[in-house]
Amino acid sequence: MAPERLDFKQMCARFDVTPRTLRHYEYIELLSPEREGRSRFYGPREVARMTLILRGRRFGFSLEQIRQWLEIYDRGEGWEAQRDIWLNMADAQLDELKQRRVELDEIIDELKSLRDETAASE
């Protein structure tokens, strides 16, 4: 059985991304669809990469960080090297997100306090 191939529209729909986003990921070489004439087709590799790209974006990683991480596998360094880099990246991102949460909690407390003071002065 042949592996699943998605055309451009199907890929956009499957991942709920705009055509512009998909073209951008291709332009910066995060994705490399097969080309047949003017048509593009995305096989299992590209579907897996898109899943990882979107997951990485959700976690706050830059496209460049995602590219570097994906290139480890592409260079044949193996999944162990990719895993180790991923763990380091995840630890750093978790630290950054925790710090942002502390900052957001401080901002929320300050805003609530100012709002309560303003409401009490009516």
What secondary structure, in 3-state letters, does 2-50 show?
A: CCCCEEHHHHHHHHCCCHHHHHHHHHCCCCCCEEECCEEEECHHHHHHH
Same domain, 66 and 120: yes
Same domain, 54 and 71: no
What is this structure's pTM? 0.81
The CATH number assigned to the domain holding 28 equals 1.10.1660.10
Same domain, 54 and 67: no
Same domain, 39 and 70: no
What is the count of structural domains for the chain?
2
Same domain, 26 and 66: no
Same domain, 82 and 49: no
Same domain, 24 and 67: no
Give pLDDT, residue 51: 96
Which of 58, 78, 98 is the last residue before a domain boundary?
58
34-36, strands of its sheet edge to edge: 6-7, 39-42, 34-36
Same domain, 66 and 122: yes
Q: 10-residue block means of pLDDT along the chain (122 residues)? A: 83 97 96 94 95 95 92 83 91 96 97 95 81
Q: Phi/psi zone of residue 16: left (φ > 0), alpha (ψ -120 to 50 degrees), beta?
A: left
Which of 40, 58, 76 is the last residue before a domain boundary?
58
Same domain, 46 and 70: no
Same domain, 38 and 66: no
Domain extent, residue 102, equals 62-122
Same domain, 26 and 78: no
Give pLDDT, residue 88: 94
